[in-house]
Amino acid sequence: ADKIDDAAKVLSEKSYPFLKEIDWTDGVYGVLPTAKPLEVLKAIDSMLVMGAAMDPEALKAGVLAHSKAINSVDSKGVTTLADYTATNAAIGHMVASVPASKTMDVYNAFNEFNLGKDVGPYMMSKVNAEDAKAAYKAFLEFKDVVKASQ
């Protein structure tokens, strides 16, 4: 296990309570923004560019980790802590294999949507805010480890 694997373990333990509070059966998670199709196109392009730059072994490991996680979801759509951890570790390795600018291009392209001020508070209202904040804090710490391995 390398540093990203170790950090993924910490991230996953700290964010699992939040993950379990999300209602994954809500149709909202299967919806792409439809209001601005040309911006959606650009955002997806940024993901294609990032994906094409990824180390192929890291990408394949990510695909397999996701597949395994999908096959262990419970009736509420939540995967096991072990498979969640393996998926986060795989994503960390995928992200570490591309320049930071490619990841930020994806983030910025989705930021362009300007979803509206009510989206954040609405999503937050559906979970325990403290757990969401703890998850976000853990995500930022994980990001530092991934960045250091880039």
Residues in the site for ligand PID, rule: CB under 6 A?
47-48, 50-52, 59, 103-104, 106-107, 140
Rule CB under 6 A: say whether 92 interacts with ligand BCL: no
Query: Which of residues 74 and 99 has its CB atom nearest to ligand PID in the complex?
Result: 99
Alpha carbon distances (Å) from 117 to 75, 85, 98, 121 = 32, 31, 31, 8
Pick the binder of ligand BCL from 88, 89, 98, 146 (CB under 6 A): 88
- Look at residue 92 and give the partner it binds from ligand BCL, ligand PID, none, a contact being a CB closer than 5 to 8 Å depending on partner kind: none
- Look at residue 48 and give the partner it binds from ligand BCL, ligand PID, none, a contact being a CB closer than 5 to 8 Å depending on partner kind: ligand PID
**Phi and psi of 136, rounded to 5°?**
-65, -40
CA-wise closest residue to 142 among 102, 84, 101: 84
- Look at residue 66 and give the partner it binds from ligand PID, ligand BCL, none, a contact being a CB closer than 5 to 8 Å depending on partner kind: ligand BCL
Q: What residues make contact with ligand BCL under the rule CB under 6 A?
A: 11, 15, 19, 59, 62-63, 66, 70, 88, 91, 94, 132, 135-136, 139
